[in-house]
Chains A and B, each alone.
Chain A
Amino acid sequence: MRPALPLAFCTIAALALSWRVTGGVTRRSESEPVDFAEDVLPILAENCLRCHGGVREVAGLNLGDERSVLAELRSGAKAVVPGRPRESELLARIASNDMDERMPPEGAALAPDEIVTIRRWIAEGAEWGTHWAFAPRTRVEIAGDAARESRHASWPRNGIDRLVLARIEEAGLSPAPGADPEALVRRVALDLTGLPPDDDVRDEFFADPSEAGYARLVDRLLASPAYGERFARVWLDLARYADTQGYEKDARRDIWAWRDWVIEALNADMPYDRFAVRLLAGDMLPDATEADRVATAFHRNTLTNTEGGTDNEEFRMAAVFDRVSTTWQSFLGVTFQCVQCHGHPYDPIPQRDYYGFLAYLNQTADADRDDDSPRLAIERAGVKTSVPVMQELPAGSERATRRLERGALTAPAEVVAPALPRFLFGEGAAPVDRLGMAESLASAENPLFSRVAANRAWEILFGRGIVETSEDFGVMGSGASDRALLDHLAGVLVDRGFSMKELLREIVTSATYRQSSVASEETVRRDPDNRLWSRAPRLRLEAEQVRDTALAVSGLLSRKIGGPPVMPPQPDGVWQVVYSGDAWATSPGEDRYRRAIYTFLRRSSPYPSFIAFDATSRETCTVRRIRTNTPLAALVTLNDPVYLECAQHLAIAARAHADDATAVRAMLERALGRAALDAEVARLLALVADERARYAGRDDLARHLAGKAATDSTDLARDAALVAAANAILNLDDFLTKS
């Protein structure tokens, strides 16, 4: 068993550090006024809002709502009387020693400094404030290098670095050295294209690893069609894209044209605001093109329930609820789902605002039908298909949207007009329709829209967002580890015309990104979770990248883009399909070796090897996959015939080297994309020697293991041994991670 104590102490260090750098609940100096959003709201959120929040409003008090806080309570008292702490019931209750009176009623009392903070806030006038994430972006002033004293004055390459360096230095640390070119080219290629770098890309960079050479490398990767495939993965998770309808029958659904639209839009670097408007309301644009309509299939990825006796209106509404929730999760990083039933427990969103927003999405003609109509017939990649799209009901037949008590269809309340939630969009005139909603949502003035996108880009590259809970920017989320950095990135996105490629270029050309993942012992000790970005992360590849990288290094990967989903080999019996004879039919030819993103996804039975690496079945919007390490993932890359086939091809490419050491070195370098260390070669050489001896005279076994390598084999035992070594190589930590 692991000794508990050292682990715990590491954790303390991590917490202490994040405590300090989070900039959340710190005590103000005497001279500085208390700030509600910074200092008070976190205390209320942690201790009070569960009962005195938007859900329960115990005693008529919602501490997340300014009006409620200042109003007379049912008891006649006022929770807060600005400037008069002694008349404020809130303070009396939290400071009381009488257990019948004291709040919170159970558990520990508030800490003395928390009580002091609340008293000071009231005394100073109880000025209300907005949670940072909902407040306008700040224009981040970045001091020039000359203005600061720094031991690393020559380190920063751009604004990101100046912000990051300030905090690293504040902690008394130094940035990690730059990554070596081999590590860097593999990292940036995996990050931007989801694939290891092609040979010519590597060679070109190694020939000129200068600043200009790196810039060229980044240009080339961003221009590669593989870029769109890589980032589409993220959007397929957000959009809960799958090739079936879900629920009981989980019948097939043709919607792959939408997936292709995403890939193309990303590759064309469609500005993010235009991208969002097309996903949400492309059909309503003046002169909407066919592609604009296809984009709206984003929200037709909702589940359709075709089971007998189902109430179509119930499941139509389930889809609309899902669209509301997915819209807020994807673009705004706010958990909106809970407001379906009651006011938001922590964030200032009344239930009415939920239905006001829902009204924008409640006017489409789809209605949980078996055929997923309305659909748009199109021709793509030479294939005639049709794709379910969003389409407004004809004028005059609009639905009235009612607020639902407790979110229940059986309890409709008053009719609600379309409107945007006030906490974010203020009190101005409401847009009239879905297109207007989409345009307001995707505007530079909406602080969450750019912050969430910038955070997502950072999360993809660094494995963790600046707001770690990328699905929740609200009061109960993790908060931002560095708000200035987040707003700087959001500013870059907005200022450069919402170009996602420009934002990514800014990040990957920073010195921060180009650090080595190996840092000094002191840095690891004092910033164990890399909250300061004091080094590059080491991250296990995503499910799709594991497959794509194995296929790429073994030379099997097909680079064909788009088209209907494919069925690479999967074990027999995985699909046990209810009610239909639908079966998994392994794709022939190059479709067997396509990128993971093209693999047919049946919601009730997703491709098993992806699930082992934390992909999801895409039933709901997934903002963030949590990486896990399990024996089941190990079994995939060890034993799945797909990976064995990769090992066999890796061995075939290497066996021309007559010398085992050279063959092993070639396989290692091919798979890891770096020079092999002598010790690594020696260890695998020992493996090859042992296995050659073991398979000598056992031709039948050797032939099976060598598989394709057995054809034309001149030495079966050697080929089997090389396949065993290749199989080990495709399971090495350095293969499965980017660093």
Chain B
Amino acid sequence: MHLPHDQIDPRPGLAAQTRRTFLGSIAGGAAAFSLGGIALGEMLAKNAPTADADPLAPRPPHFAARAKHVIYIHLAGSPSQLELLDYKPKLAEFHGTPCPDEYLKGEKFAFIKGHPTLLAPQHRFQRAGRAGLWTSDLLPNFRTIEDEVCVINTMTTDQFNHAPAQLLLHTGESRFGAASFGSWVGYGLGCDTRDLPAFVVLVSGDKTPDAGKSVWGSGFLPSVYQGVQCRASGDPVLYVKDPEGMLRETRRATIDAIADLGRAGLARHGDRETEARIAQYELAYRMQMAVPEAMDLTRESQTTLEEYGASPGTPSLANSCLLARRLVERGVRFVQLYDWGWDGHGTNPSDDLLHQLPKKCREMDQPVAALIRDLRRRGLLDETLIVWGGEFGRTPVAEFRDGNKNFLGRDHHPHAFTMWMAGGGVRGGTVYGETDELGYRIARDPVRVKDLQATILHLLGLDHLRLGYMHAGLNHRLTGVQGDAKVVRGLLA
């Protein structure tokens, strides 16, 4: 459905006035006058951006939120759902037989050529948890947290190359230029802490995702909303460390001098942006202390480090998971984890199902489970939403690129894949949706990428239709201009 304009809720920021926000403010102002001055004040403070407003000040959600924070674990390259959480015994039964023709009509693959054959699940599955979820032996720790998790086996996307699929998942558009999930959330809700960035990105596995830093960029939103990468080596945030030889007291003294001269200028020219800049320098100073503190894993107990499998100083998904908890504890709104190395084509031992996938699962399974247990123990799981998954799935057929059958792997598969969510507002211990016998297509309850995005926003108290930003004459939304995304109620507690 399309909303009339007065229901669109532009969030404050540094956006320029457009006719719509401008007229909306006037109309709203006129309406609010009759309700009294305070309503007017709120109306204008909410709708009319000003150059000196704090664009990251905390803002109320559209309705009561189930979660305040998000930890989004993205496995770049995309793990095989058929070896992990979508159990398809029929694939074993028909292993090695040609894929039925009806599946291949009009189908295009990234790498497969010729008529492919079905590939059995390469790892054993067992039931686990109260709901008896089929779970791969590659995920022994996951079995201990299944009751917290809602597994979605029917994710579907329309992109089958990494970069466009990652962009679609993270920005709602398969092309460059749109705003990332975390930046939308910062724009919608602001941030409780100002000592740390609202939207933090942690990268493990040596490489950034295929789509580059655009997956955490701010696109058409003001750049203040972009994700800030906290790094495992070097400065945790670029330029956060004082220059070599500069004493902390010297940095304090320089910032005081900058502020004093700024204020003297303010008295002469009255430019309120100067006030804002002075405040940013103060925040920068606090960030210089808060970021290294938050990123310092040596402050964790040995027991905790062992539970996660984390070791300070070496970048790993385990470290990222533990850091994510530390950041959420300190008020960061959105923590985005990227882990590289999940693109299991089966062309060699470093991208196949029998060597690489078990290795990656060993690196992932323990810390992810530890994170959920840890958040639960600390009372943070109810207000933190965990999202897990890749950008698409893997084919039920073997890839055997260029006829090479020495290793087993699967090609890119957009039609059906698995993601899961846990924590704030999620119906734990359930499986949502069902794929067909071969795991090729969805049998019931598909969840499109935009539906997942609408659902996550809903859990954060944001109506995806109202969370809009006027840019180049269009009211952009994370879930697209068509406005047909649906909150998936079956995922909600």
Contacts and interface: CB of A to CB of B under 8 A. Distances in A.
B35 interface: no
A468 B284 contact: no
B208 A307 contact: no
B277 A629 contact: yes
B139 to A, nearest CB: 26
B404 to A, nearest CB: 15
A538 interface: yes
A635 B255 CA distance: 11
A635 B4 contact: no
B349 interface: no
Interface in B17-41: 17-20, 22-23, 25-27, 29-31, 40-41
Nearest to A739: B269
A574 interface: yes
A284 interface: no
Interface in A1-51: 1-2, 4-5, 7-12, 14-15, 18-19, 24-25, 42, 45-47, 50-51
Nearest to A325: B472
Contact of A617 (B20, B42, B213): B213
B228 to A, nearest CB: 7
A104 B4 contact: yes
B260 A471 contact: no
A702 interface: yes
A684 B257 contact: yes
Contacts of B471: 471
Contacts of A107: 4-7
B262 interface: yes
A574 B238 contact: yes
User: Interface extent on A, as a size class?
Assistant: 35 or more
A475 B223 CA distance: 26
A578 interface: yes
Interface stretch (A116-124, A447-455, A687-695): A687-695
B128 interface: no
Contacts of A305: 161, 163
Contacts of B197: 632
Contacts of B247: 694-695, 701
Contact of B210 (A7, A248, A687): A248
Given A15-B26, A478-B17, A50 B4 contact: yes
Nearest to B270: A524
A517 B243 CA distance: 34
Contacts, number: 333
Given A7-B45, A478-B18, A538-B273, A631 B280 contact: yes
Interface stretch (A363-371, A427-435, A725-733): A725-733
Contact of B284 (A9, A638, A705): A638
B108 A311 contact: yes
A606 interface: yes
A14 B29 CA distance: 13
Nearest to A322: B175
Nearest to B249: A694
Interface string A50-71: 1100001000000000000000
B240 A635 contact: yes
A420 to B, nearest CB: 20
A640 B233 contact: no
A41 to B, nearest CB: 11
A625 B3 CA distance: 29
A193 B7 CA distance: 45
Contact of B29 (A15, A469, A632): A15
B243 A573 contact: no
A469 B264 contact: no
A392 B132 CA distance: 62
B363 interface: no
B222 interface: yes
Contacts of A108: 6, 27, 31
A631 to B, nearest CB: 4
A628 interface: yes
Given A10-B50, A106-B4, A468-B16, A573 B208 contact: no
B16 A639 contact: no
Nearest to A104: B4
A337 B243 contact: no
B5 A731 contact: no
B460 interface: no
Interface in B224-259: 224, 226, 228, 231, 233-235, 237-247, 249-251, 253-255, 257-258
A510 B277 CA distance: 30
Interface string B323-336: 00000000000000
A636 B277 contact: no
Nearest to A310: B161
A690 B251 CA distance: 12
B99 to A, nearest CB: 17
B2 A628 contact: no
Given A107-B7, A626-B14, A690 B176 contact: no
A51 B3 CA distance: 9
Contact of A619 (B57, B177, B264, B273): B177
Nearest to A244: B212
Contacts of A106: 3-4, 7
A571 B234 contact: yes
A308 interface: yes
A531 B361 CA distance: 59
B245 A474 contact: no
Nearest to A535: B269
A734 interface: yes
A396 interface: no
Nearest to A604: B212
B288 interface: yes
A182 B474 CA distance: 43
Given A8-B41, A107-B4, A335 B224 contact: no
Nearest to B113: A309
Contact of A633 (B243, B260, B280): B280
Given A318-B175, A335-B473, A728-B258, A638 B280 contact: no
A635 to B, nearest CB: 4
Interface in A683-739: 683-684, 686-687, 690-691, 694-695, 700-707, 720, 724-725, 727-728, 731-734, 736-737, 739
Contacts of B162: 248, 307
Given A108-B6, A635-B238, A309 B111 contact: yes
Contact of B212 (A318, A517, A603): A603
A636 B239 contact: yes
A2 B57 CA distance: 10
Contacts of A46: 5, 19-20, 23
B344 interface: no
Nearest to B206: A576
Nearest to A691: B250
B281 interface: yes
Given A573-B231, A603-B212, A248 B238 contact: no
A527 B245 CA distance: 47
Contact of B244 (A612, A677, A704): A704
Nearest to A22: B22
A315 B48 CA distance: 39
B346 to A, nearest CB: 14
B217 A476 contact: no
B53 interface: yes
A303 B15 CA distance: 27
Closest A-B pairs by Cβ, 4 of them: A604-B212, A704-B245, A309-B110, A619-B176
28 contacts: A7-B45, A8-B45, A12-B44, A24-B19, A25-B23, A47-B4, A107-B7, A111-B27, A248-B161, A303-B176, A309-B110, A329-B472, A335-B473, A469-B472, A471-B471, A472-B472, A477-B473, A518-B268, A540-B277, A571-B234, A577-B207, A606-B213, A611-B226, A631-B280, A639-B240, A641-B243, A704-B244, A705-B244
Given A478-B17, A641-B243, 19 more contacts: A15-B29, A46-B20, A47-B5, A106-B4, A107-B4, A108-B27, A111-B27, A308-B161, A476-B20, A476-B470, A518-B269, A529-B51, A538-B269, A626-B222, A628-B222, A631-B283, A705-B250, A732-B262, A737-B271
